[in-house]
């Protein structure tokens, strides 16, 4: 049973910076969730430096405590978790990196451990989805982001951080009929940036519609769309307004507050969630660790969802 | 026809940092709008460094794309635009700088090009208004700011960043009966700071009233006030709450979010807008480019308004 | 009669950085309120550096002007105030520091001057409450914070920044039946983190309930709870969302905006307020002085409350 | 008798940030030296923000202790000194600022107090020299800088930070036959940038010659040049290499280390020094307070020179 | 004839940030030297972000003036120069980027224009050398760096920033018998890191030997080695000690000061220099623009070498 | 056998930030040296935040490679080493922290492992010396620093970062007859600050004398003084000039370059070195990781000394 060091007995700033002060160990035994870094940033089209994202999140995450007051659950009453370390990425080579991601995730998924991945630029989600599809077949995607990331290519390059979900559809990794994207906004190349995602089969709720529909209706649509399919949650930190997450590659104003964003994550409880990623944290544009606070908190809510699912499973027995 | 470099073919960080990757060229032929910097900061009473504002905005603005999803228009379907460069300001000399602004703007305005000016401290708006009045006679002012900037003098100096609109009224540059100020807040020297602006003839909606009246009513009052007069929009970035725009000279808490602020700019569609400025961006107090994101986005909405006006004109024909 | 230097006659950046450009003088004659720094940070369990908090607030506070538009009062029409300087803290020794706080506050309180203390980490509030209880007996506490700070100990240490209010109850310094805590949120060690505060006798309104109840109901509960008791207001800057106050020791997302927070402070008008502290400003994690703006503004509202109380007293006569 | 607070009894970070923890008082009685800020930056041609220089130096200077080991003297065994505060500068108006400098310095000089001025951009030295010439007639100038600052004008403006010493010669404020400039380097507009200073009558030792001649020969030339004339020392922090002082307006590589620079200041002992300034500290480009450390240390050596002169005068009696 | 804008007539912070305020134009007519950016950073093995290097250098370089006092020459008396803009790099694809470099440089070299390239990570030098070899055949390399950059591969990748000179030798681009590397130091993987470079044919003077041999002897060895061959100078900013250039990818302590480094560049006068690059400037780790100052100054000396060569050619006629 | 991960096979930014990419493991088997953090900063009298020093050094140290070119040795040919993690310090309580240090070091020293400690403020050296004296009896101290740290108390507190070596002498932990301090400089409280250290029995070579005596003579004096006694090396990062190490608590200008400082550490080869500490790294004042580079490099040289000693021992057999 792995759980965080007790910070009321040992100061938070003591010792290795692992996620949430969990043990830094690469094991698949007695583990329910594994936090895994993917420090890859070759595929970023604008700002770069997402390679330092996982460590930046870990540095702040030592502040996290085990009990979630909003969801009324102590994670470690139901789960054992570890900081599994980072995937050995290959700077400059997305395809070899995807291979390493799949190789790294395979034993985790085969042991029914729920991975919580930390990027890294968004191109890594293609690697994640390859691993998940290998294990589960196509999965439903719940995607929070200010961009659809369904472009075809940049400068003739196919594996960039704005293309993973088009590639994933092409490769048959996503159960697109049960997939949904939320939060798209900002200047676009054209209306086709949204329409193309819809043409690929996604339901898309741009931020403009989020404001109109309201939280509850958006949540309802997500649940209706995903149903009881196995689902993967991909959360780009630029879903948040830049005031709440400046440290990212392509910030777009007019996004939700951290409170609103966390409420969306909490509302996913009840879905059959099999994995998560949190991407595009870029420390060199963070300030005062504002972004690290937000990212850590989103991941805390993701892990809580794992615990809630465990509790439901236990209660069902 | 001038439009931005296509960033899906050429990376955004390549080449000169012009606004929105528009061509950096000083021409008045085949141009509908011109982005012009005014890197002047002599008249700042508190923090200084606004001279680097235009470049800071340009640096971030390379992320802007041409299609506005909220207004459903591709700017460059209707407009040709350039980065016209900067006015040759004279540090330490506001009056000679105003002369240079007027000289610089005259050919632009005479060719019916809509200028979008980037400051620089707010004192430059007096220069802008002199040029506009020379071309159009007194114009209606739509002024978003946390301060009225209608003080008389600081330390005996008449041309400071807190005095341009009193000077402009005195010089007959503003059609004050059709002018309105929105967003005033923060500690004041006294109630006269607001009353004086009203005594000069402005309608003033302090932030306190914005919260009370709500977005729609404020928009209605702006449209009622301005009517069909030719209007100039002056947007001080400190209109935004400091969480959304820390990089400015005299931040005041309790302001709108970037979403709310953009909605106000979008709502100006329909007015007869002939020019814009966006002032008081101060990079040395920005962090993680939060302010640059906001300022670029406000300017993107301003340019969209120009495109919308062009489209209406075309449709009318 | 002490009031700020007039910044329309002398630039704000001239001269010593005292709070609000008040005179830096240690006197108790003709003074209604005294701003006092307590640059202590030994008791911080996570990030440290709060020792520079008071100076950081002073540095920004020179922007404050004397008239409060929201409350419609010019502070210095009713009050004389000074920057009393800092308490001579003892780094590494909380208990000796408390003694110095009590010694320093005693002449202030005996002269019926209202102190506005600037931390420093939250452990100093125990010192403040000792001084207030010595003068007034147990006082009602109005506590805005994202944490209850009623833990018993860290690593066996009893005087830490997470323990002052438990100690204060144990020492009988607080009239706990009339005390209230607002804003608690974030990951906890367990539900007991909130329950323990309630067991000690506090009314606790966690942030989750603030969102549900709404501003007006929360204000009503504060007034009902405190009644006509002499009250001390302790405001931890981490009550604010990190987007509005990143520069603090233990930020928690999902907090109020600065507008919402100021409205809570303004709403305390009418209570019998005898003292204030504003703690946990940590400049090394601030960015672009966002936190300093917020902290200065909260203190401006606190001082306004003193002026409003004075005005009521005058009107009563 | 004014001397610093004892930092072994009171922590350095307690209380107002005055230079060296001297009393912040505007008196001319029982004072031997006065530290005076001149937060003026209107005349900066490139980077701006020198208005915050004096406070930045004060913030770090609390680390200074009273005994100079290199010169073997405790300053306060021979001197009483105060932080006299700042001159009330007029942003945007150099000429009115010079008037205020002269008015401010007159009582200081008339009481035979040695001023140590902190800038502010280098244009302020013209104000200083006006005040000194009024009291003493033309003074010898010992000028450490990477620029001669004897240009005639920028953009037609005569009172800029690159012109004060030409103006001073024109106004007859400098005894140019006994004046010397040391350290000039970096790209120039032409050889005339150095030759013009020589034509005005200055001896100029560019940095290239400092490296060739060596420390001792340069010191000899300074002493030979100045002789027994009353001398004013003007030290531009950009004399130092940018690695040792990044926080300045026009840094030039290839300068001395802080050790070498301090040795030059120490070597001035024996001259009849009547005043000092230290200019061009620009906090927004400082990093980790490197520049503040250097500037504080240079000023510590200046004040030591005052004490050494006092000791010699006492010993002579 | 292209030369910089006169900064005594127009403030440096006005207008587009081109290198040295040269015209931003892509022409090969009437041009002697062309400054060209290569914002590529995919091949960086440790820190990334060199894509912003060219713009960072341009931003500071506006301070450069045309006359070199140390070499006694006004560059623009003998040369016309432009800021040619950036090569259209392909993030994530080194090989396609090399093609673009070669395509971009070909017209420049065919017109006998001397390019001064700004990186970007050091992998780009392979692109540069391909273009030079195509035009001139194998060139002598004068290489200042703290690393030999002759490793074979990282993680199986052949085109990384530590491998360009091994690749260049393999491809026959370098006249290795007349090539020399200076400044290697810091922890290594083994003695072979130096020996391999020697085995490839380079003369190597590690920093340890630079300290022993002294400046003059090192200069003599460079001249002896290169002789009258056409030479390319590759200058990695990490040749400088990190105190003088913190903003780089793999800093190594114990390097030269900026003065010492510039003296080495100046000493290359007399060689038949046909091209230059300055690489590995990484703005996100710069502080106070220390590195930008150094890089701009090194490039200023490179351009001076071009002017000196032009003068010699003219005098020979 | 523990050695670093091979960074030519796995990128440096992958995985946990352990010192030099050594395994993060708390074992005493098959270990020759152990890097141990002591994140304590309660005893800092001026700036605080040294608690983040160990992690800051670790973050940069991933760049270190195993072979030392200057000393011609591959560390891991002779040594096995680990990152042992951090001592569980008690913020606010120096004495309990010392107990934890002694408890933590005891098994390390009993297994003849050489510890390399990372602070934390300098007060921790008292803990280190207690542990070493317990194992070896009083040890010779080789102390590089800009301060003697032999004050008696601050504000009545005995265990502060300026007092450890007086305490250590009083407690009989140091063989003071064979101990030496090098580098003292900067403003002092009086000549007694140096004299007191001498009165305690230390040989003291202030920086002023280092410049006079030269490197070789200083090294000779160190070796003469220490002789064949077991020696502990305490290196305060403020020994370096602030240009080379700005990130520290009490910087003093006029110190050595990083090259000169490393040469001193290298010159200790031949002494019977049993332990090391490197203290006072303060990340919040570091910029561009300049200080982290320097600190990592000093520690690399310390570990090299351990390897050299091992090699000598092997060769002797």
Question: From the list E9, E13, E297, which residue is nearest D253 (CB)?
Answer: E297
> Percentage of chain E with pLDDT > 70?
100
Residue C22: list chain B partners with CB under 8 A: none
Q: Report residue F16's pLDDT band, with 50, 70 and 90 as the boundaries.
A: confident
E254–chain F nearest CA distance, Å: 4
Query: Is residue F316 predicted with pLDDT exceeding 90?
Result: no
CA–CA separation, A146 and B215 (whole Å):
24
CA B32 to CA B38: how far, in whole Å? 19
pLDDT tens track for F244-257 = 999 999 999 999 99
Of B117-126, D98-107, F5-14, the range with the lowest mean pLDDT is F5-14
- Of the candidates A9, A262, A287, the beta carbon closest to that of C253 is on A262
In our burial notation (b when 16+ CB lie closer than 10 A, e otherwise), range D140-161 reads bbbbbbbbbbbbeebbebebbb
D16 pLDDT exceeds 90?
no
Residue numbers in A near F59 (CB within 8 A): 55
Return all residues near A201 (Cβ < 8 A) that are at least 6 apart.
A169, A176, A177, A179
* Residue range(s) defining the domain that contains residue C242: 19-316
- Residue E229: asked if its preceding bond is cis (omega within 30°), the reply is no
Place of tokens 């420090």: A39
pLDDT reported for residue B1? 86
Query: For the purposes of burial, counting CB atoms within 10 Å of the CB of F1, is it exposed (0-12), middle (13-18) or buried (19 or more)?
Result: exposed
Is the separation of the CB atoms in F255 and F238 below 8 Å?
yes
CA angle C3, C5, C10 (to 5 degrees): 170
pTM: 0.97
Whether residue E5 lies inside any domain: the answer is no
Measure the CA–CA gap between F38 and F234, rounded to whole angstroms: 14
> Rounded to whole angstroms, how far apart are CA atoms D130 and D149?
17
The residue behind tokens 């005292």 is C18
What is the CA angle D113-D114-D116, rounded to 5? 135
State the best of B13, B52, B289 to mutate against chain E, taking most chain E CBs within 10 Å: B13
Whether C80 and C32 have beta carbons less than 8 Å apart is answered as yes
The residue of chain A nearest to residue F36, with distances taken between CA atoms, is: A15
How far is it between the farthest Cα atoms of chain A? 55
What would the two tokens of residue A177 be?
Answer: 């009929």
Q: Which of F5, F6, F11 to mutate to test the interface with A (most CBs of A within 10 A)?
A: F11
Distance from CA of C11 to the nearest CA of D (A): 7
Task: Tell me the per-residue pLDDT of A103-138, one tens digit each, with 9 for 90 and over.
Answer: 999 999 999 999 999 999 999 999 999 999 999 999
Looking at residue F133, which CATH number applies to its domain?
3.40.800.10
Nearest to F284 among C49, C91, C154 (CB): C49
Render pLDDT for A238-287 as a digit per residue (tens, 0 to 9).
999 999 999 999 999 999 999 999 999 999 999 999 999 999 999 999 99
Best mutation target, F46, F209, F237, F242, to test chain D (most D CBs within 10 A)? F242
The pair of three-digit structure tokens given for residue E44, joined into one six-digit string: 């960086």
- Cβ atoms D280, F237 nearer than 8 A: no
pLDDT digits (tens, 9 = 90+) for D115-143: 999 999 999 999 999 999 999 999 999 99
CA distance D113 to chain B (A): 29
Residue ranges of chain E whose pLDDT lies below 70: none
CA distance A279 to chain B (A): 17
Enter the tokens of residue C317: 């006569």
- Region C174-184: mean pLDDT is 98
**pLDDT value of position A217:** 98
> Out of E191, E243, E290, whose CB is closest to F258?
E243
Interface chains of chain A (3 or more CB pairs under 8 Å): B, C, E, F
B187 vs C241, C287, C300: nearest CB: C300
| Residues across chain E | 317
Identify the residue among A254, A283, A292 best suited for mutation to test binding to B, counting B beta carbons within 10 A and taking the highest: A254
- Domain count for chain D, please give it: 1
**Each residue's pLDDT tens digit, F118-163:** 999 999 999 999 999 999 999 999 999 999 999 999 999 999 999 9
Tens-place pLDDT, residues E81-102 = 999 999 999 999 999 999 999 9
Which chain C residues are within 8 Å of A74, Cβ to Cβ?
A: 190
Residues of D in contact with B51 (CB under 8 A): 48
Q: What is the pLDDT of residue D8?
A: 87
Residue B107's pLDDT is what? Answer: 98
Cis amide bond preceding A303, omega within 30: no
Specify if D13 maps to a domain: no
DSSP F100-161: HHHHHHHHHHHTTPEEEEEESSTTHHHHHHHHHHHHHSSBEEEEE-SS------BTTBSSST
Q: How far is F310 from chain D (nearest CA, A)?
A: 38
Q: Which of A187, A247, A285 sits opposite B65 (nearest CB)?
A: A187
Instruction: Say how many CB pairs under 8 Å bridge A and B.
Output: 99
- Chain B residues with CB under 8 Å of a chain E CB are 10-11, 13-18, 24, 37, 39, 51-52, 55, 59, 85-91
Q: What is the pLDDT of residue C16?
A: 85
Chain D residues inside the 8 Å CB shell of E292:
none
User: Alpha-carbon distance B312 to B302, whole Å?
Assistant: 16
Residue C111: inside a domain: yes
Q: Looking at residue B317, what is its pLDDT?
A: 80
Residues from A contacting F (CB-CB < 8 Å) are 10-11, 13-18, 24, 37, 39, 51-52, 55, 59, 85-91
**Tens-place pLDDT, residues C61-120:** 999 999 999 999 999 999 999 999 999 999 999 999 999 999 999 999 999 999 999 999
Q: How confident is the model at residue C8 (pLDDT cuts 50, 70, 90)?
A: confident
Residues of C in contact with F42 (CB under 8 A): 42, 91-92
- What radius of gyration, in Å, describes the C-alpha atoms of chain C? 18
Confidence grade of residue A1 (pLDDT, cut at 50, 70, 90): confident
* pLDDT tens figures, C187-214: 999 999 999 999 999 999 999 999 999 9
Neighbours of B110 (CB within 10 A): 11
> CB pairs below 8 Å between D and F: how many?
98
Indicate whether D158 pLDDT > 90: yes
C to E contact (≥3 Cβ pairs closer than 8 Å): no
Nearest 5°: CA angle at F225, between F220 and F230? 115
Render pLDDT for A168-221 as a digit per residue (tens, 0 to 9): 999 999 999 999 999 999 999 999 999 999 999 999 999 999 999 999 999 999
State residue A166's pLDDT score.
98
Average pLDDT of the residues of chain A: 97
pLDDT at site C316:
85
Which pLDDT band, with edges at 50, 70 and 90, does F81 fall under?
very high
Cβ distance of B42 and D92 shorter than 8 Å: yes
- Which residue, among D262, D275, D277, D266, has the nearest Cα to D308 in the 3D structure? D266
**pLDDT confidence of residue C250:** 96
SS3 of E98-161: HHHHHHHHHHHHHCCCEEEEEECCCCHHHHHHHHHHHHHCCEEEEEECCCCCCCCCECCECCCC
Q: How far apart are CA F17 and CA F59, in angstroms?
A: 6
Name which of A155, A246, A250 is nearest B63 (Cβ-Cβ).
Answer: A250
> Which chains border B (3 or more CB–CB pairs < 8 Å)?
A, C, D, E
Instruction: Give the closest-approach CA distance of D135 to chain F in angstroms.
Output: 32
pLDDT at residue A8, as a whole number:
87
Please tell me the distance from the alpha carbon of residue F188 to that of residue B178, in angstroms, as a whole number.
67
Low-confidence ranges of chain B (pLDDT < 50): none
C9 found inside a domain: no
Residue A11 maps to a domain: no
Condensed to tens digits (0 to 9), the pLDDT of residues D169-189 reads 999 999 999 999 999 999 999
Cα–Cα nearest to A20, from A1, A34, A41, A40: A34
Which chains neighbour C (Cβ–Cβ under 8 Å, 3 or more pairs)? A, B, D, F
Residue B8 within any structural domain of the chain: no
Q: Which of E49, E42, E75 is nearest to E305 (CA)?
A: E75
Q: What is the DSSP string of chain D?
A: ------TTTS-TTSS---GGG--B----TT-SEEEEEE---TT-SS---GGGHHHHHHHHHTT--SEETTTTEEGGGT--EEEEEE----TT-HHHHHHHHHHHHHHHHHTTPEEEEEESSTTHHHHHHHHHHHHHSSBEEEEE-SS------BTTBSSSTT-HHHHHHHTT-B-GGG-EEE---S-BS-THHHHHHHHTT-EEE-HHHHHHH-HHHHHHHHHHHHTTSEEEEEEEGGGS-TTT---BSS--SS---HHHHHHHHHTTBTBEEEEEEEE-B-GGG-STTHHHHHHHHHHHHHHHHHHHHHHHHHHH-
Query: Which of B123, B111, B124 shows the shortest CA–CA distance to B37?
Result: B124
Domain assignment present for E249: yes
Which pLDDT score, from 0 to 100, does residue C130 have?
Answer: 98
Determine, for residues A24 and F13 on separate chains, whether the beta-carbon distance falls below 8 Å. Answer: no
Residues F27-80: tens digit of each pLDDT: 999 999 999 999 999 999 999 999 999 999 999 999 999 999 999 999 999 999
- Report how far residue A15's alpha carbon sits from residue F84's, in angstroms, rounded to the nearest whole number: 9
Question: At A153, phi and psi to the nearest 5?
Answer: -165, 160
Q: What is the structure's pLDDT at D36? A: 98
Nearby residues of A114 by Cβ (< 8 Å), 6 or more positions away: A32, A33, A34, A273, A274, A275, A276, A306
- Give domain status of residue F97, yes or no: yes
Torsion angle (degrees, nearest 10) of CA D153, D155, D159, D160: -90
- Mean confidence (pLDDT) of chain C: 97
Phi, psi values for residue B84, rounded to 5°: -80, -5
Mutate to test the interface with F, among E157, E191, E243 (most CBs of F within 10 A): E243
Quick one: pLDDT at residue A70?
Answer: 96
């Amino acid at each position: 049973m792995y759980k965080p060091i007790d910070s009321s007995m040992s100061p938070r700033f003591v010792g290795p910076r692992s996620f949430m002060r969990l043990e830094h160990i690469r094991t698949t035994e007695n583990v329910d969730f594994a936090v895994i870094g993917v420090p890859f940033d070759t595929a970023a089209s604008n700002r770069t430096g997402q390679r330092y994202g996982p460590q930046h999140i870990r540095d702040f995450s030592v502040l996290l405590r085990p009990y979630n007051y909003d969801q009324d659950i102590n994670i470690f009453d139901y789960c054992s978790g570890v900081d599994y370390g980072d995937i050995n990425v290959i700077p400059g080579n997305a395809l070899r990196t995807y291979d390493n991601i799949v190789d790294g995730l395979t034993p985790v998924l085969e042991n029914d451990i729920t991975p919580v991945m930390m990027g890294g630029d968004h191109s890594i989600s293609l690697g994640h989805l390859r691993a998940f599809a290998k294990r589960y077949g196509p999965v439903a995607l719940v995607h929070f982001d200010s961009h659809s990331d369904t472009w075809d290519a940049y400068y003739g390059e196919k594996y960039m951080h704005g293309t993973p979900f088009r590639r994933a559809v092409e490769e048959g990794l996503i159960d697109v009929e049960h997939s949904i994207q939320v939060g798209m906004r900002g200047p676009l190349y054209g209306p086709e940036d949204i329409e193309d995602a819809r043409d690929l089969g996604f339901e898309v709720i741009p931020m403009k519609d989020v404001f109109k529909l309201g939280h509850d209706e958006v949540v309802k649509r997500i649940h209706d769309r995903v149903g009881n399919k196995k689902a993967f949650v991909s959360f780009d930190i630029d879903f948040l307004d830049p005031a709440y997450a400046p440290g990212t590659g392509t910030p777009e104003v007019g996004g939700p507050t951290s409170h609103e964003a966390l409420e969306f994550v909490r509302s996913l409880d009840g879905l059959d969630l099999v994995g998560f990623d949190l991407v595009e944290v870029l420390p060199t544009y963070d300030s005062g660790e504002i972004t690290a606070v937000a990212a850590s908190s989103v991941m805390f809510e993701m892990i809580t969802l794992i615990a809630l699912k465990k509790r439901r499973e236990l209660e069902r027995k």
